[in-house]
Structure formats: C-alpha cells, structure tokens
Chains A and B, each alone.
Chain A
C-alpha cells in the first residue's frame, strides 16, 4: 500500500478547475517529483493534500485513511508537513523561533523543542549564524533553508516541498537539493519542481502534470528517455541538440 494515494482528485477555485482528476501515488521511502509548467496544478495538488484547498471530488488516502476535506492543522498532526511555495517564513520572528514553531503539530516541552531546533542547524549549517536574525532580513536561499528546517521539525512521515529552487542562484539550488537527498534517508518526499533536471535528479519516480491532469508517470530515466517528453515538458532542447 502506498503511503499516499490520490485518486481522481478534482479541485475548483470558483469557476476555474485547477485539478481535473489527478491520480498518483507516493510509496514510503521514495522521493516523488511532480513536474509541469506554471499553472499546471502542481501547487494545488500539494495544497489539497495538506488541507489548504478543499477537494471538490476524488480521494486522498494517507496511510490507507481518507484525509480529503480535513483541515491543515489536523493533517499536519497526522505527519504530513507542507513547505509551501514562497517559503512563508514569519518575517517578524527569528530563525530559531520560526524553526521551533515547526513542532507545533506535536506535544513536546519547550526546552525539548529548543534542543531539537538547535540540532537542526547541523543539517543546515549555513543558517546557524542567523539563529537570532529576524525572518525578513534573510536572503532567498536562507529563507528556503529555514522553511525546510521548520517543515522537518514536524517530524513528518511525508514532506511536501513546493518549488524549493524557485528564484535561487544555481549554487544555492545545489545546496538545497543536497539537503533533500539527505532528508530522504528517513522521510518520504513529494517534491514539486519546475526545474525538471534538478527535480528528477533526486527522484525515484516522476509525474508530469498538464492543465490539471497527470499526463505521464515513470522512473526518471524513462522520463528522460522519452524525446518528445524532454522537448515538451522537461525543457531539454539544448541537451537534445548537443
């Protein structure tokens, strides 16, 4: 049984049908990447899983239980942590406080949470020196590190990562993906990426979303192997002609 299974998921925002029947699955221990162009429905899929968007119809099964329609507070308590698009680091709180609040989904003593937050800097050494800096003072790459660290504080079984590379310099993107490859040792990851090359480099499986539907799924090398797919969805033109 997959850790997460989505069947015929439909999400509407008013008149707009953002998802038109998405079906996909994430096996425990895997990194699964959702690829697709802007507006294809990648973020909406994650928002529906974490409870931010209410599904119009369809099923979301997590560990065999239906979670469709539950609120975000209930879903994160079940072990699904969503690091949303745009990082959303609290601007008026310090880095340490932001990371500590990541543990709000579980009961633990404040001193214990503080220790765990300190330990998080071993995985993210680049932000250690900003421990007491306010969120709004950080750069994009630093914010992304804080957002992922905060997401991991929930001790999730499933981590949802939305566009972690967006707007970051290539060298920072490399650092973020190095962290994802470390996270995967004990956490299942559903990753949304526009950067197909990076997204598939860490993945066990990939799906391609197009205008609210999954049009293709496969292992990364299968997706890369498909010339038409490379040209259309993965932005591989340069590679093909080389």
Chain B
C-alpha cells in the first residue's frame, strides 16, 4: 500500500475521484457529454483560463467525467494525478513531447509493442527526437546508451511479446543516477499486478483500451505521474523548469513542484496536440476499472491453467511465461509480480509458421484480432500483424519467431478455453 491512500485497490477502483452527483444524487458517474462549460461571469472565465480557479473550460483540456477516471487510476497506481488521452499511443506521445523537443534522446527497451517501436524508431526522428533501443536486462548496455541529450528511459513492465520483466528498482536507480526519469508502459500489468511507482518508476502510461477497460469497446490511454521526480535538479528539462512563453511565462516547477509534468502536459500537450479522450470513452473505461481487481484475479487463474496445459502439450515446443522456470526473468517475476505475470503470452508450435496459422484458424472461442486485455480470449500471429514492420533482426531481438502465437486469456470458463485449445491443436 502506498503512503497516501486510505483504501485498497478494489475500493479505489469503485470510488476514487467521484462523489454522488450533487444535483440529482446519481450514484453512477454521469457522462458530461459537452464540449464546453458556461461561465457564470467574465471574471470567473478569465480566472479559469489563467489557472486562478479549479474547473473546466473546454473538454479538450479537461472534462468532469475524464477527471474522475484520471483521479481514479492515479489513486490505484499511487500517483499524484493523471491525464486521460485518446489512446495509449497518445499518452506516450504526450509524455515525450512534454519532456523534450528537437535534439532530445530516449533510451528504450528493444522489447516494445510494435506501435511504440514505430513511434520511436520511425516517426519521432522526423521531429528531431532519436531513440536508442537496448536490452534492458543488460544494465551496462543501458548505461552506455545514455547520452548528454537523453531525457527519458522507457520500457514496458512486461515486454511485448517476450514478457521480459522490467527490473524497475535497478533500472530506475540507473536512470536516477543520471538525473533521468523512468517511464513504464504498464498496460499488461495494470495496478492489480504491480505498482511501478512503489518500485521507483516516475511516469506510467497505460493503453486503457486493454485490461483497464476490459470490454474491448473503447480506445483510450492514461498518463500518470508519481510526483517523485525532481524536474529542477538539473537543466535537462527546460520545458518544466524555465518560463513558458505559451502560458504567460509560467515556470511549471515553480507553479507546482510536484505536478509540474502533468501541468505542462495538460496546458500545452492537450491544448496544442489535442489528443484528448472522449467523455463517453472515459465512462466506458471507468466501467471496466470498477471491476479491475476481480477481473484480473480471474485473468490470472485462467492464464495459469492455459500456460500449464500448453507447456505440457506435445505439439508445443515452447511457452514464454515468466512464471515458468525456463523464463530468463523467472526469479525477478517472483519478486516483482507475485500476483501473476499478466494474461498475455506467446508460445511456439512445432511446425513453425504454417502450424501457427492453421491452429489460429481452427480456434472457435478465441477471437483472431489485433488487441489484448479483453474479457474475451484473443489470439494473433505477431510476425504477420502487430510486429510486421520490424526487420527479421529486430523481431528476433524482441523474441518473436515465425511460428510464435500470442494469446490473451479472457474470462471464459476455463474448461471451455482448454477444450477449444485441445481441439485446435488436435485437428492441425
């Protein structure tokens, strides 16, 4: 339990950030489906624009429904606040552009979701931001990749798709020794499985589309700040520690030494880039967040059963899951992820690419699609879909082979899931 929360995760998931609607007593969080908010007078309007008062001006910057989601997930993670974004990718982009501009540099894990890899490898360099990808299990390589212009160290808590377990205590210490923040993508783990802030991470983002929502109906992301990183300790972050002409020479670290990052991200990033979350999506994701604890418990139970089944099956050459003794991060997983290592994992079928494709097509309950973290069980072939832009060399470095199949285990009855896998493996 982090140090400023009076309630546990399941309770925070249901209540944090919200009180019953003062006008009608609505127990559920209302959807504030509005672009803008009526100002009672001109003075209040000016005060809201100038951050002299709390409140909402325009839903690209903030919205009452989104604000509940932001406070709720922040409370579950033990942070000082959050910003809901249009997607997980939007959250990643918002973090990067808040921390650096042209000439900035990121050190990132080589085991990233394909979309994140694309953004860092191909898109951000067009705007003058470069990334060096390294194996985060090798701390010496990580340290060697840090340059004077580095502004961020970034990894997933569980690397996609090889489930490399991020050694958050060690990597955050290394980053902090270089006056750099560590940001983690905790989409696969959610605050149910690990609280990265408690282990030393400074920033978190989630694709809320996945387990946080859980229903597969809404795209969204959230960016969270631990409030621990001192942005003024060096001159590396002038976007936060020097006057910003775009907001009346505000110095964000003076305005809020604790929440400077979130302040700039909202006041510049949402204002100018505009990748905000729809309040409808915030409401829908909130419905998922309310049951995150019990759902993740069931995800873990089902996943462990499926992992065990596949690991013992004669048609399977390898299952990659950190709870298995042959996974390179088995010991670290036991230390950092005692509740489980997520519900997404890969396995190799004997027979390579053809065997993998036939298996997928025989499945009846598993849905073949490009998503994870749904209540429904999902399957995909990464080499031809999510990671198809990566070179063969990068694929191997990320732990992906031609016959790799990725499963996202849902909440169905475990007997039905095992039955579906059995018939698909048998009929290949």
**Do A and B associate with each other?**
no
Give A contacts to B, CB under 8 Å. Answer: none
